[in-house]
């Protein structure tokens, strides 16, 4: 990532979103390198942000996750996101795997667009909020490329 000034490596992890199944019924996995941008303004629509993570697959930007803590920040971010995109599909879960906020009582909003998929999650117990946005177009291209590579096709 040397071409992206001010970016610092954070970790490598599985991509988010909906994973299509391959013919054998196993989930195809795509791993993203996650970076933090040094000097990011950690405020979004009035909410104080703890961290902004940028996900890259094979050097190409494809997702971002914004994390806040505290009820006031949840209210500010939720108001801004719902004001811009509507309520989305809403659910409540006693547990949400992979959500860094834990898994007690989670409020979940999701938007499934042709270009972008978004999730807004809030854990009432830990008061952690995550807003995750990913390019659905990019993800589908990445899955197809992984499938080609697994079958010995073009890389």
Q: With residue 62 as reference, give the H or E element that holds it.
A: strand 60-69
Amino acid 95: pLDDT: 59
Residue 2 has pLDDT above 60, yes or no: no
Residue-by-residue DSSP string for 96-139:
-TT-TT-SSSEEEEEEE-SSEEEEEEEETTTTEEEEEEEEHHHH
117-130 pLDDT per residue, tens: 999 999 888 899 99
Top-ranked range on mean pLDDT: pick from 15-19, 41-45, 124-128: 124-128
Residues paired with residue 112 on neighbouring β-strands, in sequence order? 117
Residue 33 has pLDDT above 70, yes or no: yes
Amino acid 59: pLDDT: 86
Both tokens of 87, joined, read 């309520």
Task: Give me the chain's average pLDDT, please.
Answer: 80
139 burial type by CB count under 10 A (0-12 exposed, 13-18 middle, 19+ buried): buried
pLDDT band (50, 70, 90) for residue 54: very high
Amino acid 110: pLDDT: 93
Domain limits of the chain? 7-150
Q: With residue 76 as reference, give the H or E element that holds it.
A: helix 71-85
Residue 36: Cβ within 10 Å count: 15
């Amino acid at each position: 990532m040397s071409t992206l000034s001010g970016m610092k490596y954070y970790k490598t992890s599985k991509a988010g979103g909906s994973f299509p199944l391959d013919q054998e019924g196993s989930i195809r996995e795509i791993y993203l390198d996650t970076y933090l941008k040094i000097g990011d303004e950690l405020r979004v629509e009035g909410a104080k942000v703890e961290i902004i993570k940028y996900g890259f697959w094979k050097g190409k930007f494809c997702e971002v996750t914004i994390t806040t803590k505290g009820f006031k920040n949840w209210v500010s971010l939720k108001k801004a996101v719902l004001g811009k995109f509507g309520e989305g599909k809403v659910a409540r879960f006693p547990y949400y795997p992979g959500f860094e906020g834990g898994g007690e009582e989670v409020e979940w909003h999701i938007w499934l667009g042709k270009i972008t998929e978004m999730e807004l999650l809030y854990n009432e117990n830990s008061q952690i909020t995550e807003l995750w946005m990913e390019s659905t177009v990019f993800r589908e291209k990445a899955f197809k490329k992984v499938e080609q590579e697994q079958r010995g096709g073009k890389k």
